[in-house]
Amino acid sequence: MIKIGEKFPNFDLEGTVSNNIDSAFKPFQNYGDNNNFQNKWIVAFFWPKDFTFVCPTEIAAFGELNDEFEDRDASIVGVSIDTSFVHLAWRQHNELLNNLPFPMLSDVKRELSNELGILDEEEGVAQRASFIIDPDGIVRFIMVTDLNVGRNPKEVLRVLDALQTDELCPCNWEKGEKTLVMA
């Protein structure tokens, strides 16, 4: 599995960005001239597969916090091994996902999931993993939970806040609180 401090792999994936078939799909890259995330933090979270039960609750919760992530110059991307067309169908048919403000990326070849070391070989799906990547493309946070257990997007936001202070932050630190000072 990729480690904290390592470069997040380059990706070039199709994303589903709306419910309208005519404008639903857009390419997303994190490198080169077409980098969609220049000088931004990236919060990339992976879910096992579409049309499941735990996943839409997490995806919707990230969507509800999207403005707060954007206020911190962070872009959210959700990723699964499903195709863009499956993402589109799920967005159209699940009320929680109708108006997602971030792209649902398709890692249908499982290359990114495999390169990150989060491909569940028994199930053939991405594990429930979250990454915070700084503007230089360096992984600063990783969290992986059991396929059956949803994560807490508010905790991911809290960790992003702490990372952006570039200071020492104690347990349960929240934005606006004092950081630790070395004597």
Among the options 17, 42, 55, 119, which is catalytic?
Answer: 55
Question: For position 98, what pLDDT does the model report?
Answer: 92
70 domain residue, yes or no: yes
181 domain residue, yes or no: no
50 domain residue, yes or no: yes
170 domain residue, yes or no: no
The CATH number for 27's domain is: 3.40.30.10
Lookup result for tokens 């589903």: 16
Question: For position 80, what pLDDT does the model report?
Answer: 97
Look at the chain and report how many structural domains it folds into.
Answer: 1
Alpha carbons 41 and 162: distance in angstroms, whole number? 13
117 domain residue, yes or no: yes
Sites in the chain below the pLDDT cut of 70: none
112, 137 Cβ separation under 8 angstroms: no
**At 120, is the secondary structure helix, strand, or coil?**
strand
Q: Which residues contact 73 (CB under 8 A, 6 or more apart)?
A: 39, 40, 41, 135
Give the residue numbers spanning the domain of 147. 12-165
Question: For position 33, what pLDDT does the model report?
Answer: 87
28 domain residue, yes or no: yes
Cβ-based neighbour number of residue 169 at 10 Å: 19
Question: For position 118, what pLDDT does the model report?
Answer: 98
180 domain residue, yes or no: no
Q: Is 55 a catalytic residue?
A: yes
176 domain residue, yes or no: no
Question: For position 37, what pLDDT does the model report?
Answer: 95
Question: For position 183, what pLDDT does the model report?
Answer: 75
Question: For position 108, what pLDDT does the model report?
Answer: 97
Q: Which residues contact 147 (CB under 8 A, 6 or more apart)?
A: 48, 120, 123, 125, 127, 128
Q: What is the pLDDT of residues 123-140, one digit of tens each?
A: 999 999 999 999 999 999
pTM reported for the whole predicted model: 0.96
